[in-house]
């Protein structure tokens, strides 16, 4: 019986492959969460800015001013979330069992609705 030692797969090699898969999955999840947060921050900021233009020219309604105030709070929550995502990779459990921060709710913005199945334009 001839043994082809080049085909040998050790437990250490299997463990390394599992770890590489876990790291890849965690990096992909982190990237997806970062994209969602950047998209939401830009979307919310754009609406805040647009309402601000209306305020500046004296044409914004009381409802729009209230909408802007609410969106400012939502924007702060999304920025805090994005900042927290930047700390996930320094957790002691990073990549095997990352503890993800809670994603804030996605605001409904009538003037800037989400499009498509992915939820983003």
Domain locations in the chain?
34-112
pLDDT tops 80 at residue 68: yes
pTM of whole model > 0.75? yes
Task: Give the mean pLDDT of the chain.
Answer: 91
Q: How long a stretch of residues is the chain?
A: 121
Task: Give the Cα separation of 55 and 47 in Å (integer).
Answer: 12
Q: Give the three-state DSSP class for 114.
A: coil
Write out the E strands in 1-121: none
Single out the residue of 93, 108, 106, 85 nearest to residue 29, CA to CA.
85
Q: Is it the case that residue 3 has pLDDT exceeding 70? A: yes
pLDDT the model gives residue 21: 94
Distance CA 38, CA 40 (A): 6
């Amino acid at each position: 019986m001839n043994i082809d030692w080049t085909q040998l797969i050790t437990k250490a090699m299997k463990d390394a492959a599992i770890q590489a898969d876990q790291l890849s999955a965690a990096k992909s999840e982190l990237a997806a969460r970062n994209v969602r947060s950047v998209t939401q921050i830009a979307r919310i900021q754009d609406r805040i800015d647009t309402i601000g233009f209306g305020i500046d020219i004296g044409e914004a309604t009381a409802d729009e001013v209230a909408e802007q105030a609410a969106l400012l709070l939502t924007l702060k929550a999304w920025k805090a979330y994005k900042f927290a995502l930047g700390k996930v990779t320094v957790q002691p459990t990073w990549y095997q069992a990352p503890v993800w921060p809670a994603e804030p709710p996605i605001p409904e913005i009538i003037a800037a609705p989400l499009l498509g199945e992915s939820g983003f334009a």
